[in-house]
């Protein structure tokens, strides 16, 4: 928070602590909402069952119960595992997810860090989790984990490209890498001469949006791209040997990154923290904005989880073929069309 907003002066270290706590809250809140709402309840209803309904009213405290359960479990190291790497891997994955939230604008003055190359930073930092996954697969000293880790590495690298290319389309249209600028362009732009609902890039970048969502599904290793954690083959893939807090970190990272990519998708394509009818620069947007962004993120993650529980999984080579021969050419065509139309209009 800039000091202009606060009523009293804070030292730099106090601001940093506030920002760190804020980031954690910003991560854990959506992660918790997603896990409870979608994983436990929506999936259960889709599968004609009730889901958790004991812990708290309508099972709302189930996540708390799960966290408590995982924290008190024994910390197991496989005998042949590389201890340092084994311990380090979950932290790398969680760190890369937390770093994504840092660059996102939650409101005109509600942000953690204002970066000129916002989206570039986000894409770069989100790829670090691939390293963590690979380390986890190798350090587990387990053949299943190794296969899972290698599959994950191949998949994450392969689907980075369509994601980046889809984002390039947005960047070309917005004319800037800055996330704040992108949100401003969507809020203050106009389409077909109508300006009351701005110009959310999903309308003009529909192809890019679809490619981004597919690439997100793959980045999150969710079905139909969950070969790395294919339950019926690899038990849990690279997470097989983890227990206790480390597994909890992987679990949180999975849903927090779903939230992170949801927030990025909302910012890039759905207009960020702005809704039609609201003043983009007003003070109340610092409170309303995060809520709006949370709502849009829930919408995007709803789609992610809906697809997750419906489709069977791709085989690894089919998955790679899909990325390299279909998504990447499509994304390139999208960029070309965007450039042409941007110049023309």
Partner 1 sequence: MTAALDREQARYIAAQAADARINFEIETEGMTLNMGPQHPATHGTLRIVAKLDAEQVVSAEPIAGYMHRGYEKLSEVRTYPQVTTLINRIDWLGSFANEVPFILAAERLMEIEAPPRAQWIRTALFEMSRIANLVLFAGDTGLQLGGQTAAFYGFRDREHVLNQIEAVTGGRFHPNFDRIGGLKDDLPKGWIAETKTAMAKVRDFCDEIDDLVTGNEIFQARNRGIGVIPADVALSYGLSGANLRGSGVDWDLRRDAPCGLVHPELDWKVYTHPDGDCFSRWWIRIQEIREATRMVDQCLDGLPSGPIMAKVPRIIKVPAGEAYVETENPLGAMGYYVVSKGDLGPFRVKIRSASFNNVSVLSWVLRGVYVPDIVAILSSLYFILGDIDR
Interface with partner 1 by CB under 8 A: which residues?
46-49, 143, 147, 223-224, 226-227, 230-233, 235, 309-318
* Pick 44 or 286: Cβ nearer partner 1: 44
Q: How far apart are the first and last CA of the chain?
A: 38
DSSP 33-53: HHIIIIIIIIHHHHTTS----
Radius of gyration from C-alpha coordinates of the chain: 21
- Residue 83 or 143 with smaller CB distance to partner 1: 143
Closest approach, Cβ 318 to partner 1, in A, equals 5
Min CB(18)–partner 1 separation in Å: 41
Nearer to partner 1, 114 or 321 (CB): 321
What is the smallest separation between the CB atom of 146 and partner 1, expressed in angstroms?
Answer: 9
Residue 65 or 150 having the CB closest to partner 1: 150
Count the helices and strands in the chain (H runs, E runs).
Answer: 15, 0
Smallest gap from Cβ 306 to partner 1, in A, equals 10
Smaller CB distance to partner 1: residue 17 or 326? 326
Identity of the residue, 234 or 335, whose beta carbon is nearer to partner 1 in the bound complex: 234
Which pair of structure tokens corresponds to residue 128? 């670090």
Q: Which is nearer to partner 1, 137 or 198 (CB)?
A: 137
Burial readout 206-223 (b: 16 or more C-beta within 10 A, e: otherwise): ebbbebbbbbbbbbbbbb
CA–CA separation, 76 and 74 (whole Å): 6
Closer residue to partner 1 in complex, CB, 56/78? 78
Q: How far apart are CA 175 and CA 185, in angstroms?
A: 9
As a whole number of angstroms, the longest Cα–Cα distance in the chain is 66
Question: Nearest distance from residue 75's CB to partner 1, in Å?
Answer: 23
> Cβ(175)–Cβ(147) under 8 Å?
no
Shorter beta-carbon distance to partner 1: residue 108 or 224: 224
Is the CA virtual torsion 148, 309, 249, 267 positive or negative? positive
CB 63 within 8 A of CB 233: no
Q: How far is the CB of 39 from partner 1 (least distance, A)?
A: 12
- Token pair of 53, please? 């309904």
Supply the minimum distance, in Å, between the C-beta of residue 271 and partner 1.
Answer: 32
Report residue 188 as tokens: 């203050």
Smallest distance from the beta carbon of 315 to partner 1, in angstroms?
A: 5
Q: Smallest gap, in angstroms, from Cβ of residue 223 to partner 1?
A: 5
How many beta carbons lie within 10 A of that of residue 270, not counting itself?
23
Cβ at position 207, least distance to partner 1 in Å: 19
Residue 159 CA to residue 321 CA, distance in Å, equals 11
What are the residues whose beta carbons fall under 8 Å from the beta carbon of 212, sequence distance 6 or more?
Answer: 162, 163, 166, 167, 265, 268, 269
CB contact at 8 A, 240 and 59 = no
Rounded to whole angstroms, the Cα distance separating 95 from 99 reads: 6
Q: Which is nearer to partner 1, 114 or 143 (CB)?
A: 143
Measured CA to CA, the distance from residue 168 to residue 327 in angstroms comes to: 14
């Amino acid at each position: 928070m800039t000091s202009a907003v606060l009523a009293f002066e804070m030292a730099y270290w106090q601001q940093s602590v506030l920002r760190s706590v804020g980031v954690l809250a910003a991560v854990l809140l959506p992660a918790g909402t997603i896990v409870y709402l979608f994983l436990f309840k929506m999936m259960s209803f889709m599968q004609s069952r009730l889901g958790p309904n004991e812990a708290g009213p309508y099972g709302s405290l189930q996540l708390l119960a799960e966290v408590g359960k995982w924290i008190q479990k024994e910390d197991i190291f496989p005998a042949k595992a590389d201890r340092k790497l084994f311990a380090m891997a979950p932290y790398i994955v969680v760190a890369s997810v937390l770093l994504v939230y840092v660059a996102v604008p939650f409101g005109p003055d509600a942000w953690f860090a204002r970066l000129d190359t916002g989206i570039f930073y986000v894409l770069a930092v989100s790829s670090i989790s691939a390293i963590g996954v690979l380390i986890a697969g190798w350090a587990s000293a387990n053949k299943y984990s190794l296969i899972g880790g290698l599959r994950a590495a191949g998949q994450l690298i392969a689907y980075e490209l369509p994601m980046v290319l889809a984002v390039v389309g947005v960047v070309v249209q917005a004319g800037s890498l800055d996330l704040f600028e992108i949100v401003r362009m969507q809020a203050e732009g106009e389409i077909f001469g109508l300006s009351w609902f701005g110009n959310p890039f999903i309308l003009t970048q529909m192809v890019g949006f679809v490619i981004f969502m597919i690439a997100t599904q793959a980045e999150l290793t969710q079905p139909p791209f969950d070969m790395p954690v294919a339950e019926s083959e690899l038990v849990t893939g690279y997470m097989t040997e983890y227990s206790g807090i480390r597994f909890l970190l992987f679990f949180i990272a999975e849903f927090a990154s779903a939230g992170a990519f949801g927030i990025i998708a909302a910012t890039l394509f759905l207009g960020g923290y702005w809704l039609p009818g609201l003043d983009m620069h007003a003070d109340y947007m610092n409170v309303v904005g995060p809520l709006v962004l949370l709502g849009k993120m829930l919408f995007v993650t709803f789609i992610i989880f809906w697809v997750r529980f419906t489709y069977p999984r791709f085989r690894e080579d089919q998955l790679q073929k899909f990325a390299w021969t279909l998504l990447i050419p499509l994304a390139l065509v999208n960029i070309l069309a965007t450039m042409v139309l941007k110049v023309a209009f």
